[in-house]
Amino acid sequence: MHTRKLGQGLTVSAIGLGCMGMSEFYGARNDEESVRVIHRALDSGVGVTFLDTADAYGMGHNEQLVGRAIRDRRDKVVLATKFGNLRSPEGGWVGVSGKPDYVRQCCDASLQRLGVEVIDLYYQHRVDTEVPIEDTVGAMKRLVEQGKVKFLGMSEAAPATLRRAYKIHPIAALQSEYSLWTRDVERNGVLATCRELGIGFVPYSPLGRGFLTGRFKSQNDLAPDDYRRTHPRFQDENFDRNQRITQALEQMAARKSCTAGQLALAWLLAQGTDIVPIPGTKRIQYLEENAAAADIRLTAEELQRIDAALPAGVAAGARYPEGGMKRVNL
C-alpha cells in the first residue's frame, strides 16, 4: 500500500478503513467478523493502516471494537476518532457540542474505550456554531500539549471556519463527504482552502454509501433497518435515477478491468496526493477490493471520460435528510 501525508507530518496509508458500519447504520453487526476485517487490513499484504472511528458510532461501541482489534498491534495503526455529535440515550441525534469542557471529557472517554494512550488524529466531528471555533480548537490544542492527541482534524467545516481554526493550531486533515456523486467541496471553496493551508483531505463515503459499487439494484437490497433508507438519494425516483451513475461507472470499469467501486476510488485518488479516502466495509472481500484501487492509475483521457459521464451535480437528491444537513457547516 502506498502512503500519503496529511498536513505537516502525519503519514497514512493512501486508503483508509472507515469502521462506522461495523457498529450500526448498515444492518446487523458481527463483531468477530469486524475484528477479522481490521486484522486483515493491517496485514502487510493489504496495508490499510489508517483506521477511522468516532465516539458517536454505536454509542461508543465502535471505539471499543476498534480498540479490541488493535490491542496487540497498536504500533501498526494510525488511529483517528472524533467528538462533537450528541446523541440521546435512545440513539437519536440531538445536537452538536464544541464546549471546551466537553472536548476534554470526550477525549478522555475515547482514550479509555480505545484502550490507547494517545490518539493519532482527533477530529471535531461537526462544528458547533454556538461556540467560537477558537475556544473548541483551543481545547483541542491543549490535548496535544498534554500528549493525549498528536494531530488535529475537523469535519464538514466551511472555509471561514477552517481559517479561524488554523490560526489557533495547525489542522492536519479535514474529513468531509466527497465522491463522484458528491463533489460540493470542489465548488464551495473547501478543497481550495485545504490546499491553501496545507490541510489534507479525507473523503468519507467515497463510494456513495455503497451506491457507487453497483451492489444495490433496488431498495429491497437494503436491510429493513438500514439507515440509508432515510437518505433522499436512496429513495423512490431518486434511487432509480441514480442507477444511471452506477451503470456508467460499471461500463467504464469493465474497460479498465476493475470494479465500479475501484474506479470510483481511483478517481478520488487521482484528484490529488493530499486526498485519502476512507471507504467502510464489514467484509474482507470488499476490504481487499478497495485496497487494490490504490494501484489503479487513470490516464488524463480516462479522467476526462469519467468527468464527462458523471459531472458535478449528477446525483439526484440531497446527500442527507434535512436534519443531517443542518449539522453541516456550509
Phi-psi region of 267 (alpha: psi -120 to 50; beta: other; left: phi over 0): alpha
Query: Which residue among the candidates 57, 122, 123, 286 is catalytic per the annotation?
Result: 57
Phi, then psi, of 175 in degrees rounded to 5: -105, 120
- Element containing residue 66 per DSSP (H, E): helix 61-70
Secondary-structure breakdown of the chain: helix, strand, coil percentages, each rounded to the nearest 5: 45, 15, 40
Per the CB < 8 A criterion, the answer to whether 174 and 153 are in contact is yes
**Can you tell me the distance from the alpha carbon of 256 to that of 157, in angstroms, rounded to the nearest whole number?**
35
DSSP designation for 327: T
Residue 52, SS3? strand
The DSSP bridge partners found for residue 104 are none
User: For this structure, is 26 an active site residue?
Assistant: no
Write down the residue that cell numbers 453497483 correspond to: 214
| Core vs surface per residue 122-161: b (16+ CB within 10 A) or e | bbbbbbbeebebeebbebbbbbbeeebbbbbbbbbbbbeb
C-alpha cell at 130: 454556538
Per the CB < 8 A criterion, the answer to whether 39 and 69 are in contact is yes
**Can you tell me the distance from the alpha carbon of 295 to that of 298, in angstroms, rounded to the nearest whole number?**
10
Q: How many CB atoms lie within 10 A of CB 65?
A: 23
**Angle (CA) 95 195 104, round 5°:** 35
**CA separation, residue 79 to residues 7, 17, 75, 173, 232 (Å):** 15, 10, 10, 13, 31
Residues classed as catalytic? 57
